[in-house]
Amino acid sequence: MLGVISCPKCKNVCGISLEQKSKKCIKCDYLIKIKKVRIWVKTKERSNLPELIKKVREEIENASPNIRDY
Ligand SMILES: [Zn+2]
């Protein structure tokens, strides 16, 4: 299972495998703990990821400040 998360520090959106426990942010080097962040979407298809990442990124940009409250 794959998911889309965003970095709590820099808001960079990236795709992950949900079996992972943590992932290092490619932008700011922050070690993201998968369990502690919101998984925006889940998918089984790796080929869907780029499209979903794009969507989530737009969603975050348009979101109200409440949604950024992790
Ligand atoms: Zn980051």
Domain boundaries, the chain: 2-68
Phi, psi of 28 (to 5 degrees): -115, 5
18 within 8 A of 34, measured Cβ to Cβ: yes
Q: Measured in angstroms, how far is the CA atom of residue 44 from the centroid of ligand 1? A: 24
Distance (angstroms) between ligand 1 centre and the Cα of 52 equals 18
Q: Measured in angstroms, how far is the CA atom of residue 4 from the centroid of ligand 1?
A: 14
Compute, in angstroms, the gap from residue 47 CA to the centroid of ligand 1: 23
pTM of the predicted structure, to 2 decimals: 0.84
Q: What is the DSSP letter of 5?
A: E
- What are residue 16's DSSP bridge partners? 3
- If you measure from the C-alpha of residue 14 to the centroid of ligand 1, how many angstroms do you get, rounded to a whole number? 10
- pLDDT tens digit sequence for 6-59: 999 999 999 999 999 999 999 999 999 999 999 999 999 999 999 999 999 999
